[in-house]
């Protein structure tokens, strides 16, 4: 079989399995993301072995999550995020400190070296906001105050996570270059603020001229170009590419408001590429390592600490909103998904963690990602019902 | 720079350059495909060197041309192709024989060995139908009789091209397995007929059930899954994946007729991914080899033979339609694009042709692809004007 045939077959199998999983979970009234990730577990190396993770699929997965965050950004005006800025900052900071300390402490008790314990703590830090964003848009609740806090906190969380990773990774190899890390932090914050503040205004002003371009579907294409450009730019600074995609979406939010065609178009691309992101997370799971029963205990313990520290840390940050909303924020920040996997891969490549600990972190990343969506479904049941009634009302009017 | 950053930057540069090229050519009232291919030449290794061809970009290019043919198929009902079947067959057969003989003869006169001459002839055989399809849909003329003949002939042309390549490639390495080649031919024809005849009916019948699926944008997603599945299937048989994508589109043509949402969605994905296909063709051009002036003469001669043999061969096949339509068909079959490039790559990997002859074939592939679109624009000027008036009429009604 030629290489092209293999790749086409893999794309077909992944997309088909993901959509079957999503359909099944929709019928069970459960979040379809869970079905798509489980489809990855089933077709991946740990079970059927139909498809193996590859560089091409990882890159498609990256494009998938970039489009997901771009689409979420398109529905989020910068001003709505700024309004919840203080709460989001509190949520992010407490949601970084508690998992880091919690993960480190657990590993130290388990008997790991300091640097190993720090690395596991670091893997617990960053939230995979894509998963929560996907669940919230499935529930039709992207425009609630809780969703905005989660999105804002996730941006800050990612920048903080990057700094923690820089410090921990460089301390494992030798000297820590505080100047370089400080510059990265400053650049990340300045870039984010610049795009959110200035970028949106520039795009809104240029919007009528974008419409007059002769190329097909110009508003959509300009959006995609901007999305890739900012994703590349923030990735160059060292921040996750999805932050750039989210910023690009936010910058275009006002200009594309009411442009149904652009929303249909980005949604179509998203439905096509996001499954690669979700299935790729599921495919990473390595169940074979868990024949060692002592590792199973550790994996469960790390996962419980990962869930509890985000719930308590982020919940405490959003405490002023009341218990229920605080719980929603805490659960929304739980999934570690691809971010946890990336940290584990870096740890493995630096030989700070071994294959077995790598499998433990991967288990935590996939498990937190599978557990959060159904919990979100329960916690947001009331709001989703209200939203549904409002939609039915407006449809019958 | 990390690998992800590099890839994102490459995607950004390619998409931006392609769309700038398209915009420029639209403003010059020239086919935008030419602008996009030239963008590839300019940013590629032969000029600025901003982006180099890579496996990832080649695979994205493949997805691009697959989506292009899927979209074209969506607008083509199988019955409309069957009606022009005989003419299409004549066009395809003469359009295969003449380039093969012409290319072989030219190379023999130039003094090449028999097998080398045969390989260059083979590279002249297959048409890159994506380029013509893109130009015709830009002109709004996909539903004319000439367009249908070109599409039908291109499918047959590709199957014949595959057989010629099988024979020539295996004769260069040793024994020719006629049984295997015969089986491949039979499979290809049977599969094409089966999908075109039975597939379309099945999809049309299942269409109401596809609408009731719970997953988002189900008609679009089912189309994409079918497209990838058939592309993988024909690729497995040995036929170009785009034939499967075109068949998938045709099978869904009736079911998706009048479904504006699906057309907006496939169009959006196409506008996003096709530039990678076009830029990738342009990037293949290797101008540095042409410092040798004797090669320049050969490259020009091969290109002229490539243009003349398709014009005369395919034109003769469509002779019954009159001179003008015959010329339109002949020019429409001229671009060799990615198919010529693939044959050249196979020749290089079998060491049948060397680096210098490889560069000559690549020049022919890119040059025929750049020359055909403006010629099509001139030849279809009248039809495009009529089409425009009809559109304006219906818009003002």
Could B215 and A269 be called an inter-chain contact, meaning their C-beta atoms sit closer than 8 Å?
no
- From residue B366, alpha-carbon distances to B54, B292, B303 in Å are 18, 19, 9
Instruction: Supply the pLDDT for residue B360.
Output: 94
Comparing B189 with B225, the larger pLDDT belongs to B225
- From residue A290, alpha-carbon distances to A20, A42, A286, B236 in Å are 28, 16, 8, 37
Residue A11 clears pLDDT 70, i.e. is over it: yes
Q: Closest chain B residue to A17 measured between Cα atoms?
A: B225
Band (pLDDT 50/70/90 cuts) for residue A397 is low
Q: Across chain B, what does the average pLDDT equal?
A: 91
CA distance A32 to chain B (A): 8
Residue B384 clears pLDDT 80, i.e. is over it: yes
Band (pLDDT 50/70/90 cuts) for residue B397 is low
Q: What is the mean pLDDT of residues A242-264?
A: 89
Q: What is the mean pLDDT of residues B194-205?
A: 87
Distance of CA A18 to the CA centre of its chain: 18
Choose the mutation target among A211, A245, A272, A338 for the interface with B, i.e. most B CBs under 10 Å. Answer: A272
Of the ranges B63-67, B97-101, B150-154, B292-296, which one carries the lowest mean pLDDT score? B292-296
Q: Kindly report the three-state secondary structure assignment for every residue of chain B.
A: CCHHHHHHHHHHHHHHHHHHHHHHHHHCCCCHHHHHHHHHHHHCCCCCCCCCCCHHHHHHHHHHHHHHHHHHHHCCCHHHHHHCHHHHHHHHHHHHHHHHHHHHHHHHHHCCCHHHHHHHHHHCCCCCHHHHHHHHHHCCCCCCHHHHHHHHHHHHHHHHHHHHHHHHHHHHHCCCCHHHHHHHHHHHHHHHHHHHHHHHHHHHHHHHHHHCCCCCCHHHHHHHHHHHHHHHHHHHHCCCHHHHHHHHHHHHHHHHCCCHHHHHHHHHHHHHHHHHHHHHHHHHCCHHHHHCHHHHHHHHHHHHHHHHHHHHHHHHHCHHHCHHHHHHHHHHCCCCHHHHHHHHHHHHHCCCCCHHHHHHHHHHHHHHHHHHHHHHHHHCHHHHHHHHHHHHHHHHC
Could B224 and A272 be called an inter-chain contact, meaning their C-beta atoms sit closer than 8 Å?
yes
Could B5 and A216 be called an inter-chain contact, meaning their C-beta atoms sit closer than 8 Å?
no
Chain A positions touching B63 (Cβ under 8 A) are: 11
d(CA A359, CA A12): 27
Q: Closest chain A residue to B223 measured between Cα atoms?
A: A272
Out of B215, B241, B269, whose CB is closest to A19? B215
Instruction: Supply the pLDDT for residue B171.
Output: 79
Q: Kindly report the three-state secondary structure assignment for every residue of chain A.
A: CCHHHHHHHHHHHHHHHHHHHHHHHHHCCCCHHHHHHHHHHHHCCCCCCCCCCCHHHHHHHHHHHHHHHHHHHHCCCHHHHHCCHHHHHHHHHHHHHHHHHHHHHHHHHHCCCHHHHHHHHHHCCCCCHHHHHHHHHHCCCCCCHHHHHHHHHHHHHHHHHHHHHHHHHHHHHCCCCHHHHHHHHHHHHHHHHHHHHHHHHHHHHHHHHHHCCCCCCHHHHHHHHHHHHHHHHHHHHCCCHHHHHHHHHHHHHCCCCCCHHHHHHHHHHHHHHHHHHHHHHHHHCCHHHHHCHHHHHHHHHHHHHHHHHHHHHHHHHCHHHCHHHHHHHHHHCCCCHHHHHHHHHHHHHCCCCCHHHHHHHHHHHHHHHHHHHHHHHHHCHHHHHHHHHHHHHHHHC
Q: What is the pLDDT of residues A112-163, one digit of tens each?
A: 999 999 999 999 998 998 999 999 988 888 889 999 999 999 888 888 988 8
Number of CB atoms found within 10 A of residue A26's CB: 17
pTM of the entire structure? 0.92
Choose the mutation target among A5, A215, A264 for the interface with B, i.e. most B CBs under 10 Å. Answer: A215
Could A215 and B11 be called an inter-chain contact, meaning their C-beta atoms sit closer than 8 Å?
no
Instruction: Supply the pLDDT for residue B80.
Output: 86
Out of B9, B32, B217, whose CB is closest to A232? B9
> Do residues B139 and B380 make contact, with C-beta atoms less than 8 angstroms apart?
yes
Could B5 and A220 be called an inter-chain contact, meaning their C-beta atoms sit closer than 8 Å?
no
Residue A220 clears pLDDT 90, i.e. is over it: yes
d(CA A106, CA B341): 57
CA distance B266 to chain A (A): 8
Residue A395 clears pLDDT 80, i.e. is over it: no
Number of CB atoms found within 10 A of residue B254's CB: 16
Residue A394 clears pLDDT 80, i.e. is over it: no
Q: Across chain A, what does the average pLDDT equal?
A: 91
Residue A95 clears pLDDT 70, i.e. is over it: yes
Comparing B173 with B52, the larger pLDDT belongs to B52
Q: Closest chain B residue to A272 measured between Cα atoms?
A: B221
- From residue B108, alpha-carbon distances to A203, A232, B118, B374 in Å are 59, 50, 9, 32
> Do residues A255 and A203 make contact, with C-beta atoms less than 8 angstroms apart?
yes
Number of CB atoms found within 10 A of residue B312's CB: 17
Residue B395 clears pLDDT 80, i.e. is over it: no
Q: What is the mean pLDDT of residues A307-330?
A: 96
Number of CB atoms found within 10 A of residue A353's CB: 25
Could B214 and A265 be called an inter-chain contact, meaning their C-beta atoms sit closer than 8 Å?
no
- From residue A66, alpha-carbon distances to A15, A130, A243, B40, B234 in Å are 17, 9, 8, 24, 31
Chain B positions touching A1 (Cβ under 8 A) are: 236
Q: What is the mean pLDDT of residues A104-119?
A: 94
> Do residues B244 and B234 make contact, with C-beta atoms less than 8 angstroms apart?
yes
Residue ranges of the domains in chain B?
52-396
d(CA B168, CA B160): 12
> Do residues B158 and B126 make contact, with C-beta atoms less than 8 angstroms apart?
yes
Q: Is CATH 1.10.3720.10 the classification given to domain A3-396?
A: no
Residue B176 clears pLDDT 80, i.e. is over it: no
- Rounded to 5 degrees, what angle do the CA atoms A118, A123, A129 make? 150
Out of A23, A232, A261, whose CB is closest to B214? A23
Out of B8, B15, B271, whose CB is closest to A216? B271
Comparing A176 with B207, the larger pLDDT belongs to B207
Q: Closest chain A residue to B234 measured between Cα atoms?
A: A5
Of the ranges A267-271, B16-20, B195-199, which one carries the lowest mean pLDDT score? B195-199
Instruction: Supply the pLDDT for residue A131.
Output: 92
Instruction: Supply the pLDDT for residue A71.
Output: 92
Could B12 and A221 be called an inter-chain contact, meaning their C-beta atoms sit closer than 8 Å?
no
Could A235 and B23 be called an inter-chain contact, meaning their C-beta atoms sit closer than 8 Å?
no
Q: What is the pLDDT of residues B302-340, one digit of tens each?
A: 999 999 999 999 999 999 999 999 999 999 999 998 888
Could A269 and B269 be called an inter-chain contact, meaning their C-beta atoms sit closer than 8 Å?
yes
Q: Is CATH 2.40.170.20 the classification given to domain B52-396?
A: no
Q: What is the pLDDT of residues A20-75, one digit of tens each?
A: 999 999 999 899 999 999 999 999 998 999 999 999 999 999 999 999 999 989 98
B111: phi > 0 → left, psi -120 to 50 → alpha, else beta; which?
left
Chain B positions touching A62 (Cβ under 8 A) are: 4, 7-8
d(CA A16, CA B224): 10
Instruction: Supply the pLDDT for residue B60.
Output: 95
Q: Closest chain A residue to B262 measured between Cα atoms?
A: A268
> Do residues A94 and A317 make contact, with C-beta atoms less than 8 angstroms apart?
yes
Q: Is the dihedral of CA A372, A378, A383, A388 positive or negative?
A: positive
Quick one: tokens of B320? 């019954």
Chain A positions touching B232 (Cβ under 8 A) are: 5, 8-9, 11-12
Instruction: Supply the pLDDT for residue B204.
Output: 87
- From residue A384, alpha-carbon distances to A139, A146, A378, B236 in Å are 6, 13, 10, 46
CA distance A218 to chain B (A): 9
Instruction: Supply the pLDDT for residue A38.
Output: 95
Could B59 and A15 be called an inter-chain contact, meaning their C-beta atoms sit closer than 8 Å?
no
d(CA A255, CA A242): 20
Choose the mutation target among A62, A216, A245 for the interface with B, i.e. most B CBs under 10 Å. Answer: A216
Distance of CA B115 to the CA centre of its chain: 26
Q: Closest chain B residue to A342 measured between Cα atoms?
A: B4
Could B15 and A55 be called an inter-chain contact, meaning their C-beta atoms sit closer than 8 Å?
no
């Amino acid at each position: 079989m030629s290489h092209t045939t293999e790749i086409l077959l893999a794309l077909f199998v992944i997309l088909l399995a993901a959509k079957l999983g999503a359909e099944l979970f929709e019928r069970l009234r459960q979040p379809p993301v869970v079905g798509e990730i489980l489809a990855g577990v089933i077709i991946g190396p740990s079970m059927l072995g139909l498809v193996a993770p590859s560089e091409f699929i990882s890159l498609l997965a990256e494009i998938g999550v970039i489009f997901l965050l771009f689409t979420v950004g398109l529905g989020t005006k910068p001003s709505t995020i700024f309004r919840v800025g203080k709460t989001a900052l509190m949520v992010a900071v407490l949601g970084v400190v508690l998992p880091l300390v919690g993960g480190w402490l657990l590993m130290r008790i388990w008997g790991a070296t300091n640097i190993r314990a720090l690395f596991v703590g670091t893997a617990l830090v960053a939230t995979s906001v894509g998963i929560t964003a996907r669940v919230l848009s499935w529930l039709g609740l992207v425009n609630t105050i809780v969703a905005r806090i989660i999105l804002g906190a996730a941006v800050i969380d990612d920048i903080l996570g990057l700094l923690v990773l820089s410090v921990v990774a460089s301390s494992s190899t030798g000297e820590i270059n505080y100047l370089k890390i400080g510059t990265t932090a400053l650049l990340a914050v300045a870039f984010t603020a610049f795009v959110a503040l200035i970028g949106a205004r520039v795009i809104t002003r240029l919007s009528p001229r974008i419409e007059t371009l002769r190329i097909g579907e110009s508003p959509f294409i300009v959006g995609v170009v901007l999305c890739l450009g900012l994703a590349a730019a923030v990735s160059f600074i060292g921040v996750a590419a999805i932050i750039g995609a989210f910023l690009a979406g936010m910058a275009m939010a006002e200009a594309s408001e009411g442009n149904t065609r652009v929303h249909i178009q980005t949604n179509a691309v998203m439905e096509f590429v996001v499954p690669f992101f979700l299935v790729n997370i599921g495919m990473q799971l390595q169940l074979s390592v868990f024949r060692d029963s002592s590792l199973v205990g550790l994996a469960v313990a790390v996962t419980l600490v990962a869930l509890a520290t985000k719930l308590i840390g982020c919940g405490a940050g959003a405490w002023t909103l009341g218990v229920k909303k605080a719980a929603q924020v805490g659960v929304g920040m739980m999934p570690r998904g691809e971010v946890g996997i990336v940290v584990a891969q870096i740890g493995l490549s630096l030989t700070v963690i071994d294959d077995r600990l790598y499998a433990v972190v991967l288990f935590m990343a996939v498990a937190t990602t599978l557990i959060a969506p159904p919990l979100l479904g329960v916690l947001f049941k009331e709001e989703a019902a209200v939203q549904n009634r409002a939609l039915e009302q407006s449809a019958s009017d």
